[in-house]
Structure 1
Amino acid sequence: MNTLHGKTLFITGASRGIGLAIALRAARDGANVAIAAKSTVPNPKLPGTIHSAAAAVDAAGGKGLAIKCDIREEAEVQAAVAQTVATFGGIDILVNNASAIWLRGALDTPMKRFDLMSQVNARGSFLCAQVCLPHLLQASNPHILTLAPPPSLDPKWWAPHTGYTLAKMGMSFVTLGLAAEFGAQGVAINALWPRTIIATDALNMIPGIDLARCRKPEIVADAAHAVLTRSARGFSGRFLLDEDMLREAGVSDFSAYAVDATKTPLADLFLE
């Protein structure tokens, strides 16, 4: 099985960046994609809305469904999942892509930023999984894929931005726990992380990054496709890297994914 044709994906934060790239890769297979995000009107600093993303899914050969959803709000997530099921008849795949970032030290982290990160990243991933799981358990090859790094207790990843690392590792530990709870029931619950920094709008939050040394979101989308087309049973609780998944799929040349193929790509956060 190497296609997502006819599968229904619920992707959070999919109006732009990696989430949108994953949506479009699935759309090329003929998948149904619920775009669950907050962006309903264009923002000059952050291009892309749920409506433009859904239209792009349609244009790529899939069926897009634009849903305004703040994953911090339980009722909104429940309504979004219900709308997806009513439209497409079920949910096969949840992609926890939505994430908030603030790379500052403790004294430079306002509590509203800390709260936003913990509510969106760890709590949001748990909530979306909780609401989607009753439908996933009825699917033929169910997956939850969360964009989160391998868990690390190395202080060098905690000292510069404890708030962000806590929130991001929260997504990793949610993956670990849910995989242990539901893996035996045939749900593949895994995390995926880019080996290199990806050129997205989130880079505006990281000062001094050389865009030329980044890769395009499509590398994560192709890796996610390789994960989501795997047989779910017995494939759970793994912390996967995009490059490794593509190497397994037979890719050895990653230059097509480079913003500038002449530059050495930068390693992403939380990786050696």
Structure 2
Amino acid sequence: MTDEHAKRGIDFDKPNAARVYDYLIGGKLNYAIDRMFAEQILQVRPEAKDLALLNRRWLRRAVRFGAEQGIRQFLDIGSGMPTVGHVHEVVQSIDPSSRVVYVDNEPVAVAHSEIVLQDNENAAMVQADAEFPADVLEHPTTEELLDFSRPVMVIMAAFIHFIPDERNPAGLVAAYRDAVVPGSYLALSSGTFEGQGEEVRRAAELYQKSGTDVVARSKEELRALLDGFEILPPGIVFTPEWRPDDPAEVGKHPEQASQLALVARKI
């Protein structure tokens, strides 16, 4: 590892979930260790690239829905690598004044997001560990861009399954819930074992062996994290089932997406 990589906190000794995801959706912001691990996942789950893209498409539909409800502020927790169709591109195409704060602690994601966003006065990247909400919510960039006296959509796309029960995911969701006013929204997706085959458990085990906690949760377990929220129709469903642009996109086996998704409104 070079001094520059050490300074940025980039670890080449183990794969990083954000960079692996980037590789799976066709990005180039990843390293050999990430690609090697992703190929292991693909051996177990050959459709993993398609599944990652399904989650990404759900995210775009969810934030578009938020914008259509009048939300003009978005806080993307664990945002990962900047890609085509990132949150700010979707919501600013609806209203250019929409404000977006991305949050991640992966140095490569942060560095590239800063480059992508350098000319966008209404979107910015915050380098912080989202498990410490105060570090996010009280960050000068967050305070500058977001007005928490007005509704915000908090986004946790493919994030909460990296928070095991002993690290209190319900408390983490509650901390962000308490920071926003009623009428705000939460968009959340998570890996699940519901309706899944053994290959999904094997993929989760690979993450565990690589040093990344992965906790797949059922619909009821996700619902238990949402105290103070009203889950909006169609409820907690597999990602392709959540308000598809075309019913044909759902397919005959939406459970093969392996991720549940929802949008909820703070009561």
TM-score (norm 1): 0.49
TM-score (norm 2): 0.50
